[in-house]
Amino acid sequence: MGTGRIDTGRAALLQQIAPRGLLLVLSLGLASAACEADVFKYVDSEGNIYFSDEPLHGKNLKLEWKRTSRRLAAENREQSKAELEQRARAMARVKARLDGESLSISTRPSEPVSGSMAVRRARYRHLIDRNAARFGLSADLLHAVIRTESAYKANALSHAGACGLMQLMPATARRFKVNSIWDPAENIRGGAEYLRFLLNLFDGDLRLALAGYNAGEGAVKKYGYQIPPYRETQDYVRKVLRHLASERLADNS
């Protein structure tokens, strides 16, 4: 045997193709065989890859691994399964993004505020304007959130324990140093500051900020920076966007 000569096995594959492609060829071919054949992978000094069902000989060859055909077939199945799952997750992210975008694209304005709600709205307008300016928000957005959260009722209390005009949870109130959660001025200030935080966190994406306000920013992160697949949260985002469209329509009328 001269230097550099390669003594191939009876079913050796001497093809310079991607390793994953070779594994696929081998696993498809050998998985159908009844025998438990061994498969050898070699690499020569120039980086060429060789697969064989028998040992190869040559001074410039290095054995990388030896596996059974059954193991190769199992590995290929696992790899294929992982790739399918990865593609499915990617498609789910795309679908979630499109669904989220449709929330704003298809949003219709809600009915204008009227009656007793309009009276309450006027009562807190100065606080809303002040905090909108303080945190770089639109007053329309704060109105839309407050209308959705409490219908401008300063004594609103949810079954989950959210309080006041902007339905702050006690933990959120503490986080943003709200001293009196039932004080309209403090409540609106804390809610506005939280909205600003969420908009900064999600790069100005209003839909994600609203989803975070409803479900917590952790839920938005958990689902790949998409609106979480919670019916309540998705309905909440739609509702706020409808009220926001109504506010803007009123401003332009």
- Where in the sequence numbering do the catalytic residues fall? 149
Residue 93, both tokens: 């992210």
- How many residues would you count in the chain? 253
**Residue appearing with tokens 């949810």:** 158
Four-residue CA torsion sign, 178, 158, 203, 129: negative
Q: Please tell me the distance from the alpha carbon of residue 132 to that of residue 166, in angstroms, as a whole number.
A: 13
**Residue appearing with tokens 């909440």:** 236
The SS3 of residue 178 is: coil
- SS3 per residue for 42-56: EEECCCCEEEECCCC
The SS3 of residue 182 is: coil
CA dihedral 216, 218, 219, 224 (to 10 degrees): 140
**Residue appearing with tokens 């294929």:** 80
